[in-house]
Amino acid sequence: MTADTKPFDQQGDTPDTVRVANAMEGFLSEFGPRAASYMNACVRCGLCAEACHFHLATGAAKYTPIHKIKPFEAAYNQMQGPFSWIKRAVGIAPTVSIEDLQDWEELIFDSCTLCGRCTLACPMGIDIAELVKEARHGMYRAGLLPDRLAQIVGHARTNHSPFGTPEDFVKALRAIETEFAITLPLDKPKADLLLTLAPGDLEEHRNSVVGLARILDSLNIDWTLSSLAFEATNFGYLSGDTELQGSLTCRLIDKAREIGATTILLPECGHAWGALRWEAARWYGTPINDIRILHTLELLAERIQTGDIRLHPVGESATFHDPCQQVRRGGLGWAPRVILDALGMELRELENTQETSFCCGGGGGVLANTRAAPLRAQAFDIKRKEVEATGATHFVTSCGQCRLQFDRSRQATNWDKEVESLLELVAANLRID
C-alpha cells in the first residue's frame, strides 16, 4: 500500500507489532452486518470522490473516500471476511504493516469529516463515514492519531471535559453570569431538563449560553446544568476511543435519571447529536425510552410551531449552512427552515443544501486537528463560493464547530462574511410580552 501522505503522529512507545495487532483488533471491534454488507458491495467505481469536499477542493486521488479505509478493508479480508480462512490457509490474506497504518493516519483523521456526503453518490449506498469511524477505533488502539486530537481525548479522560475540570466549568459559568447579568441554574437536585454545553459555548460562543438560558426561562422550563455532566461533545466518538465514548454517553444519561430529567438538551453542536441521539443506546446497552434527547434546533422549531416562542421579524435575506451531523445524518433539516421562516427571513438556499450540503470542512474532529488547517481551508473554499453566490445578507448555521471552522477559515482567507448562530438570532429577536 502507498498513500503518499504526510508525516504521522503516534502516542506512547508501544512496539510496532503490538500497535498493528491492536489496530487489527480495534478495526473489527464493532463490526456488524451493516459494515460487512458495505465491504462486500463496493465495485470501485470512484464516484464517492465526486462527492468529497477534500477531493473536489484538491483534486488529489488519495482523498477518494473508499481509499481512506484501505487498511481497515485489509483487516476485514484477513480476519473476518467470508473467505478469510481460505486466504489465510493459502497465504494470500492481505496484511497490514505499521507503515500502512502510519501512512493512512492522515487519510482517516485529517481528510474525513465523517460528513457522509459520499454515500449519496455511491451507487451501492455505502456509508463510508461509518467505516471511517470504525477504522478510527483501530487507529486509536494502535496509538496512531493526530497529537492534538490525542491531547483533547486525554483532557476528556482526566479532566472530565476537553474544556476542563468541573471546577473550571463552574468558574466559566460564574464569569458568564457576571458579564451578562444572568443566573444559570447549576446542580439542582431535581429538574425536568438537563442542559449540556460544548467547550466552544463556554469560550467563543457565550452568547449562545445566555440566549439558550433566556429562551428556556421564557418557556418556564425547569432546567439545570450539572457540573458533573455538562459536556455535550464526545471526543470518544471522534477519536475512535470507544471506551471514552461509552463513558461520556452514560454520564449524561445517568445524571439525567438521577435528577429526574425527562429531557437532555444538546447545544448547537453537530456530532453531539450524532453521538447521543443516535448512538447512546448502542453504548448504554439498552434502549433509552425514558429520556428524550433533544437538540436545540428541535426545541426552537417545535416551540415556534406550538406558538410558545414568538419572534420579532428580522426581514432580511439569509442563507443557511446545514451541519452534516444534524441534517444529512441527523434528520433535522426541517427545523432550521421553520425557525428562519418564523424570523421572517427570506431563505436563499445554497446550491447544495439539506442532505446534499457540503461539509464546512472542520467536522469529525478535523477542526481540533491543528495540522489539518491548510486542508480545511481548501475545503472551506467550496462553501465560501456557494455562500457568495446566494447574495444573502446573513450567513447562518446551527453548529458551534461549523462556526469555528468558518471563522478561522475566513480569517485565514480575509473573507468578510460573518457566520451567525441561529440560536443567537432567535434569542436576540425573542418576543416576551
Partner 1 sequence: MSAIELLEGPLWQISLGIFVVFGLWRLFVILTTGRTPVQARPVGSVGLGAARAIVGHFVPRRAFFGQGRVWFVTIAGYAFHLGLFALLFFAAPHVAFLRDHILGFDWPVLPRWGFIVAAQFAFAGLLALWVRRFVDPVVRLITRPDDHIATGLTFLVMLSGCTALGEQSAVLRGIHLGTVEAWLIYFPFSSLMHTFTWPLSRGFTGALAGRRGTRM
Q: Which of 263, 352, 390, 429 binds partner 1 (CB under 8 A)?
A: 352
Please identify, among the stretches 80-88, 106-114, 170-178, 250-258, the one whose residues bind partner 1 according to the rule CB under 8 A. 80-88
Nearest to 412 by CA among 360, 377, 387: 377
**Does residue 122 belong to the site contacting partner 1 (CB under 8 A)?**
yes
Identity of the residue, 22 or 64, whose beta carbon is nearer to partner 1 in the bound complex:
64
Please identify, among the stretches 100-108, 274-282, 370-378, 402-410, the one whose residues bind partner 1 according to the rule CB under 8 A. 274-282
Q: Least distance in Å: CB of 428 to partner 1?
A: 29
333: exposed, middle or buried (C-beta count within 10 Å: 0-12, 13-18, 19+)? Answer: middle
**Does residue 257 belong to the site contacting partner 1 (CB under 8 A)?**
no
**Does residue 41 belong to the site contacting partner 1 (CB under 8 A)?**
yes
> Do the Cβ atoms of 176 and 389 come closer than 8 Å?
no
Mapping DSSP to helix (H, G, I), strand (E, B) and coil, where does residue 188 land? coil
**Does residue 64 belong to the site contacting partner 1 (CB under 8 A)?**
yes
Strands 419-421 and 317-321: unpaired
Nearest to 102 by CA among 193, 5, 178: 5
Q: Compute CA distances 117 → 65, 86, 95, 112, 400, whole Å.
A: 10, 35, 29, 11, 20
Identity of the residue, 298 or 424, whose beta carbon is nearer to partner 1 in the bound complex:
298
**Does residue 1 belong to the site contacting partner 1 (CB under 8 A)?**
no
Q: Least distance in Å: CB of 323 to partner 1?
A: 12
Here's the x/- map for partner 1, 129-148, by CB under 8 A: it reads as --------------------
Helix 70-79 to helix 128-141 angle (10° resolution) is 80
Q: Which of 207, 278, 310, 390 binds partner 1 (CB under 8 A)?
A: 278
**Does residue 232 belong to the site contacting partner 1 (CB under 8 A)?**
no
Phi, psi of 389 (to 5 degrees): -65, -25
**Does residue 95 belong to the site contacting partner 1 (CB under 8 A)?**
no
Calpha distance 63→55 (Å, rounded): 5
Mapping DSSP to helix (H, G, I), strand (E, B) and coil, where does residue 173 land? helix
**Does residue 28 belong to the site contacting partner 1 (CB under 8 A)?**
yes
Identity of the residue, 28 or 225, whose beta carbon is nearer to partner 1 in the bound complex:
28
**Does residue 121 belong to the site contacting partner 1 (CB under 8 A)?**
yes
Q: Which of 6, 12, 45, 305 binds partner 1 (CB under 8 A)?
A: 45
Q: Least distance in Å: CB of 370 to partner 1?
A: 28
**Does residue 55 belong to the site contacting partner 1 (CB under 8 A)?**
yes
Q: Compute CA distances 313 → 21, 288, 317, 390, whole Å.
A: 59, 38, 11, 21
| Beta-carbon-side half-sphere exposure of residue 277 (alpha carbons within 13 Å) | 23
**Does residue 284 belong to the site contacting partner 1 (CB under 8 A)?**
yes
345: exposed, middle or buried (C-beta count within 10 Å: 0-12, 13-18, 19+)? Answer: buried
Q: Which of 42, 98, 338, 428 binds partner 1 (CB under 8 A)?
A: 42
**Does residue 116 belong to the site contacting partner 1 (CB under 8 A)?**
yes
Identity of the residue, 37 or 97, whose beta carbon is nearer to partner 1 in the bound complex:
37
**Does residue 80 belong to the site contacting partner 1 (CB under 8 A)?**
yes
User: Which residue reads 490474506 in cell numbers?
Assistant: 93
Q: Compute CA distances 63 → 60, 328, 428, whole Å.
A: 6, 21, 41
* Kind plus residue range of the DSSP H or E element containing 72: helix 70-79
**Does residue 279 belong to the site contacting partner 1 (CB under 8 A)?**
yes
414: exposed, middle or buried (C-beta count within 10 Å: 0-12, 13-18, 19+)? Answer: exposed
Please identify, among the stretches 9-17, 121-129, 188-196, 391-399, the one whose residues bind partner 1 according to the rule CB under 8 A. 121-129
Give the footprint of partner 1 on this chain (CB under 8 A): 28, 30-38, 40-47, 49-51, 55, 61-62, 64, 66-67, 80-83, 116, 119-127, 277-282, 284-289, 327-331, 333, 352, 355-356
